[in-house]
Chain A
Amino acid sequence: MSFEPKIIAFLCNWCSYAGADLAGVSRSKCSPNVMSIRLMCSGGLEPAFVLKAFKEGADGVLVCGCNLGDCHYVDGNYKTLMRMTLLKKLVKQLGIEEERVRLQWVCASCAEDFVQAVNTITNDVKALGPYTQIKIEAEAETSRI
């Protein structure tokens, strides 16, 4: 069986979730690997949520917010941009490939952008394979002195 990645998408309430919804009602074809979590604003996304997603078994994380300048809360998505830029650097250092974390602006009428983002990250992560965490517990049982 081919590898079907689990991808968590964090969508902001005002633009991205509406955009994803539009993709649904327009019956756009889109890979089914994404599980979405709605936030009021992408600026409310704690970087820890992304790391937690990986810890809980996600293979990739997609973060969507309003286009820059269109944030319902004026500048929430600038915070998203800054955090995600730094977070990408951090995950790379931790050996998690950059392609597993994707930031995409999706406006309320941009169903196509959402579909494209979902397909891109799904294909990228499929090519990378599953994100495997090291089973540290097993090591703790190795031989004693």
Chain B
Amino acid sequence: MAKLKLALYWAASCGGCEIAQLMIGDKILKLIEAADIVFWPVAIDAKYDDVEAMPAKSIDVCLFNGAIRNSEQEHMAKMLREKSKILIAYGACACRGGIPGLGNLHDRQSIFNTVYRDTVSTEKNGNIFPQTLFRVSEGDLTLPVFYDTVSTLNQVVDVEYYIPGCPPEEKTTWLALEALLEGKLPPKGTVISHNVKAVCDECSRKRDIKKIKKIYRNFEIIPDAETCLLELGLLCTGVATRGGCGALCPQVNMPCTGCYGPVEGVIDQGAHFLSAIASVIDSKDEEEIRTIINDVLDPVGTCYRYSLPDSLVRRASLK
């Protein structure tokens, strides 16, 4: 059998997904026995032009991580879609927008102002700012166009499979790669993860009746090793998040932040979690309820930490 052709690409992401891909460890030897990596900007020296020169559908599988927030990323997403038989959204950013997706609370101009103008530590060298096009005698220098709105990969191109996580756990990555290598492909649109309903199902903490009188931020209390974090008043999104990660964060006193995306069948992870937080408040007094809820300082950042571009509302209204 001919070797599989594999491409990997990064768009708006942090580089953690590449580390996660390498976390499969010595299994990578198994991978390169069966597959040739034809494009991987972080590790091999193939250029955009090389991809452009490939015939359509000549790449068997492309693992695409990162969200789409500028024209270069959109261009590469479309190009890799054209060249690949199977396009996989790898990691939370490609699947649901991820952390860069929180940029949808702002717009191009306000992000630009923060980065290049308003921060105290920024030197204003005669107001010289990056331009998308700059002409010099040697030719034109260009930079990608930055968008107002961050999109998920499937909002830009058609996607076959999704591998969730920020970054995806090694076992989740291998589950997907194994399926590919063995040719046992699930139906299109599948989120490839171990079949665990919610993070809570894998969490070893003891769950009792969830009734809370106060919401804490992570640094405000030191949780004991056994009680459910949500019962202690920490906003752990485990109840609204797909399992398969092994519930690693709650085991080390860190509330789940929801990187594996919504549980199966839920469209809007944030609204689902919001509903869960609100239901565990133990009060019948309107004023008290308001006081408790006021401790949720950043509802969007808490509920939609990895999924704002994929949510029903998708972004904040532009002024």
Q: Which A residues lie at the B interface, using CB under 8 A?
A: 46-48, 51-52, 54-55, 68, 75, 78-79, 81-83, 85-87, 89-91, 93-96, 131-134, 136, 139-140, 142-145
* CB of B165, distance to nearest CB on chain A (Å): 23
Q: Any chain A CB within 8 A of the CB of B218?
A: no
Query: B72 interface residue, CB < 8 Å from A?
Result: yes
CB under 8 Å from chain A, chain B span 273-290: 274-275, 277-279, 281, 284, 286, 289-290
Question: CB < 8 Å: which of A79, A85, A87, A93 contacts B316?
Answer: A93
Supposing A48-B267, A86-B277, A93-B299 touch, asked if A134 and B71 sit within 8 A by C-beta, the answer is no
Cβ 8 A contact of B148, one of A86, A93, A95, A134: A134
Q: Are A52 and B312 in contact (CB under 8 A)?
A: yes
- State A91–B298 Cα separation when bound (angstroms): 11
Q: Which residues of B contact A86 (CB under 8 A)?
A: 274, 277-278, 293, 296, 299
Q: Is B149 an interface residue (CB 8 A)?
A: yes
Contacting residues, chain A, for B289 (C-beta < 8 A): 78, 81-82, 85
Q: Which residues of B contact A140 (CB under 8 A)?
A: 74, 147, 151, 155-156
**Contacts A/B (CB < 8 Å), 28 sampled:** A46-B275, A47-B271, A48-B272, A51-B312, A54-B313, A75-B284, A81-B286, A81-B289, A83-B278, A83-B279, A85-B289, A86-B277, A86-B278, A86-B299, A90-B270, A90-B300, A90-B303, A94-B315, A94-B316, A95-B316, A96-B313, A96-B317, A134-B148, A136-B151, A139-B148, A140-B156, A142-B147, A145-B144
Instruction: Check if A89 sits within 8 Å of B144, measured CB to CB.
Output: no
| Chain A residues with CB under 8 A of B299 | 86, 89-90, 93
Which chain A positions have C-beta within 8 A of B312? Answer: 48, 51-52, 54-55
Closest to B294 in A: A89
Residues of chain B within 8 A of A46, CB atoms compared: 271-272, 275
Q: Top 8 closest A-B pairs, CB basis?
A: A95-B317, A48-B271, A82-B278, A90-B299, A83-B278, A95-B316, A51-B312, A47-B271
CA distance A87 to B311 in the complex (A): 14
Pick from B72, B279, B293, B315: contact of A136, CB under 8 Å: B315
Contact B311 A51 (CB under 8 A): yes
CA distance A48 to B105 in the complex (A): 18
Residues of A within 8 A of B114 (CB): none
Taking the complex as formed, is B32 at the interface, i.e. its CB lies under 8 A from any CB of chain A? no
Give Cα distance in the complex from A54 to B315, angstroms. 12
In the complex, which residues of chain A have a beta carbon less than 8 angstroms from the beta carbon of B156? 140
A-chain residues with CB within 8 Å of residue B317 when the two chains form the complex: 94-96, 131-134
Measured CB to CB, the nearest residue on chain B to A97 is B317
User: A89 to B268, alpha carbons, bound, how many Å?
Assistant: 17
Taking CB atoms, residues of chain B closer than 8 Å to A139 are 147-149
A residues in contact with B277, CB < 8 Å = 86
- Which residues of chain B have C-beta atoms less than 8 A from A134's C-beta? 148-149, 315, 317-318
Chain A neighbourhood of B75, CB < 8 A = 144-145
CB-defined contacts of B275 to chain A, threshold 8 Å: 46-48, 83
CB nearest to B78 among chain A residues: A144
- Which of B281, B290, B300, B313 contacts A55, CB < 8 Å? B313
Q: Assuming A82-B293, A85-B278, A90-B303, is B313 touching A144 (CB within 8 A)?
A: no
Taking CB atoms and an 8 Å cut-off, the chain B residues in 72-109 that contact chain A are 72, 74-75, 105
> Which residues from chain A contact B303 at a C-beta distance below 8 Å?
90
Q: How far is the CB of A71 from chain B (nearest CB, A)?
A: 11
- Whether the pair B290, A144 counts as a contact (CB closer than 8 A) is no
Closest to B300 in A: A93
Q: Does B314 contact A (CB under 8 A)?
A: yes
Is B145 located at the chain interface by the 8 A CB criterion? yes
Residue numbers in B under 8 Å from A81 (CB-CB): 286, 289
Asked if B290 contacts A87 (CB within 8 A), the reply is no
What is the CA–CA distance of A48 and B148 in the complex, to the nearest angstrom? 24
B278 touches A51 (CB 8 A): no
